[in-house]
Amino acid sequence: MRLYSSITALAASLSVANAHCYIWGVFVNGVDQGTFRAIRTPAYNGPSPHGYANSPVKNLTSIDLRCNVLGDKQADYTIQVRPGDNLTFDWHHDERTDTDDVIASSHHGPALVYLSPDPPTEDSFVKIWEEGLYEMSDVLFGPGKWATTSDIAANHGHMNMRVPAGLKPGHYLVRAEMIALHEGDASYLKNSFRGAQFYPNCVQIEVVGDGTVELPKGVSFPGAYDYSDPGVVFDVGLTPGAPLPTTPCATTYQIPGPTVWSGAWPTTSAVDVGPVSGPTTATLWSSWIEKSIVTFATYDGSDGSTLSTLSTSAYTADWSTMYHTPEATPIMSA
């Protein structure tokens, strides 16, 4: 049985509703490549139906900050793209529909996209897009408009990027990320019950064509962010359930990490997307990971809802230094 979740199955008898925000699909020039295809979907953190995928990463020294839990496990497919193509990452919470809430309304923060050769190496992640606080609130203690809530969530979970112009053919990892700052007023290093919440998710792509542009030196994950960064420890102001602040909200926000690479597109516009290809709900999962212990299970009973644990094993991330080509995926076009 595979280590990571079985949610990539295209059908199952039971659906689940408990999941944190992660990428459910990728549109290339508006064409959906299939639900969960080429996505290194984070593992669930507990048995079905009570666990959820994409527990936020808060420890900045953890390897999970790279591509989330089990991010070293390669997906079955890779998506072929060309320089200049528009990629729309479809983030969701409970289901892949326009009515899904995408991410909690209190989870204000920046969104970022990095690109790295696959497999990644030291200092190989290059930032190619970011958006943070882009409009101040007209209310004294209001949080303002942020990428996660006022842009991506408000646009049905769509995060957009373009493949850099002239990019050299090869296999790459796209590291897309949302950062929730609703508990970011305190450092996780000093208070493990609080701290900024990082939601990284990686997608496997293969760039084809005759480009010659190589990515420059980038940053490492972990390593790119530090608790001393002003964008990591940051008070977004009044959020639901929070005490009334005593000072006005900050008027600027510094997004963590390096600057956007000069070879990235200066602007990234949204594109119209077509229908979803594949399931819109996550399916029953057969493995989960808690505190580096992977549990493998099977389900019995007439409705498949009775859990029968098979075995457990310790898990340690083991990132390959060589690329292993997954099953080929043709370019899907309109």
- CATH code (residue 76): 2.70.50.70
What local confidence, expressed as pLDDT, does residue 1 receive?
A: 34
Q: How confident is the model at residue 11 (pLDDT cuts 50, 70, 90)?
A: very low
Tell me the average pLDDT of the chain: 87
Q: Where are the beta strands (DSSP E) in 122-187?
A: 126-131, 133-135, 145-146, 158-162, 170-180
Looking at the domain assignment, is residue 122 inside a domain?
yes
What digits encode the pLDDT tens for the residues 272-310? 999 999 999 988 888 899 889 999 888 776 666 677 778
Looking at the domain assignment, is residue 331 inside a domain?
no
Count of domains for the chain: 1
What digits encode the pLDDT tens for the residues 315-324? 999 999 999 9
* Cis before 83? omega within 30: no
Q: What is the DSSP string of 23-72?
A: EEEEEETTEE--TTTTEEPPPBSSSTTT--B-PPB--TTSTHHHHSTTTT
Q: Which domain holds residue 146?
A: 15-262
What digits encode the pLDDT tens for the residues 49-93? 788 888 899 999 999 999 999 999 999 999 999 999 999 999 999
> Using alpha carbons only, what angle is made at residue 216 by residues 211 and 219, rounded to the nearest 5 degrees?
135
Assigned token pair, 37: 């295809």
What local confidence, expressed as pLDDT, does residue 144 receive?
A: 86
Q: How confident is the model at residue 254 (pLDDT cuts 50, 70, 90)?
A: very high
Looking at the domain assignment, is residue 284 inside a domain?
no
Least confident of 5-9, 32-36, 230-234, 311-315: 5-9
Q: How confident is the model at residue 250 (pLDDT cuts 50, 70, 90)?
A: low
Looking at the domain assignment, is residue 212 inside a domain?
yes
What local confidence, expressed as pLDDT, does residue 143 receive?
A: 81
Measured over the CA atoms of residue 19, residue 20, residue 24 and residue 30, the dihedral's sign is positive
Q: Is the pLDDT of residue 5 over 70?
A: no
> Rounded to an integer, what distance in angstroms lies between the CA atom of residue 161 and that of residue 86?
6
Contacts of 292 (CB under 8 A, 6+ apart): 314, 315, 316
Closest of 272, 323, 315 to residue 295, by C-alpha: 315
Looking at the domain assignment, is residue 24 inside a domain?
yes
CA separation, residue 166 to residues 2, 126, 206, 259 (Å): 37, 15, 14, 20
Looking at the domain assignment, is residue 166 inside a domain?
yes
Look at strands 79-81 and 197-207 and give their pairing: parallel
Closest of 46, 45, 54 to residue 307, by C-alpha: 46
CB 136 within 8 Å of CB 237: no
Q: How confident is the model at residue 330 (pLDDT cuts 50, 70, 90)?
A: low
For the segment 104-125, the average pLDDT, to the nearest whole number, is 96
Assigned token pair, 109: 């923060």
Look at strands 22-28 and 31-32 and give their pairing: antiparallel
What local confidence, expressed as pLDDT, does residue 300 receive?
A: 73
Looking at the domain assignment, is residue 44 inside a domain?
yes
Looking at the domain assignment, is residue 210 inside a domain?
yes
